[in-house]
Amino acid sequence: MRTQLLCPVYRKWLRLHPDHARQARQILRKQARDYQRNGDLQKAFTFNQLVWEVAQSVLLALRPIDQHDSESQKDLLFFAASAIAVDRCARANSLVNTTPGHSAEHSVIQDTQQQLAALMPLYASEPRLLHIIEKLMGWLRSGSPHLTPTLLH
């Protein structure tokens, strides 16, 4: 089972305040990139995990009826992209091979696929978003997340 970094109370608060969660996810992503550029891969890995967990909280938040598809699309794309960032950081940091306790982080791709599959019924009435979920799942399933899908361009 994957280790969760976010406090359960904060995770719940993020679900109740998805706009704040979106801002937090952007800030954390910027910090992760900065750490990666500076060569601090361990901190970059941790921050990418936080980004993934915040992105997950946004997806699991209740959506207002009038929410635009574009916002949901961005949330879905960010969730999948953050999983790839965690996976890439783990590989670059050699955590998967050197630390037995971190093998669960490698499963972030599988966790993301499962959660996207679980969200499909929620988006069944929105064919465009359902199609995006299917594309993202195929991209993650392909085993070549280093190839960026056209959805992210």
Residue 15 to residue 60: CA distance in whole angstroms: 7
Within-domain flag for 2 = no
pLDDT band for 1, please (50, 70, 90 cuts): very low
Global pTM reads: 0.81
DSSP class of residue 121 equals G
Q: Is residue 149 part of a domain?
A: no
22 belongs to a structural domain: yes
Tens of pLDDT, residue by residue over 130-139, are 999 999 999 8
DSSP annotation of 6 reads S
Residue 3 included in any domain: no
- How many domains does the chain contain in total? 1
151 is a domain residue: no
Residue 132's domain comprises 8-144
Does residue 153 lie in a domain region? Answer: no
3-state helix, strand and coil shares in percent for the chain, rounded to the nearest 5: 80, 0, 20
Is the pLDDT score of 16 beyond 90?
A: yes
Whether the Cβ atoms of residue 14 and residue 58 lie closer than 8 Å to each other: yes
pLDDT tens for 32-51 read 999 999 989 999 999 999 99
CATH code, domain with 123: 1.25.40
In a domain, 93, yes or no: yes
CA distances from 133 to 2, 4, 45, 108, 110 (A): 22, 24, 25, 16, 14
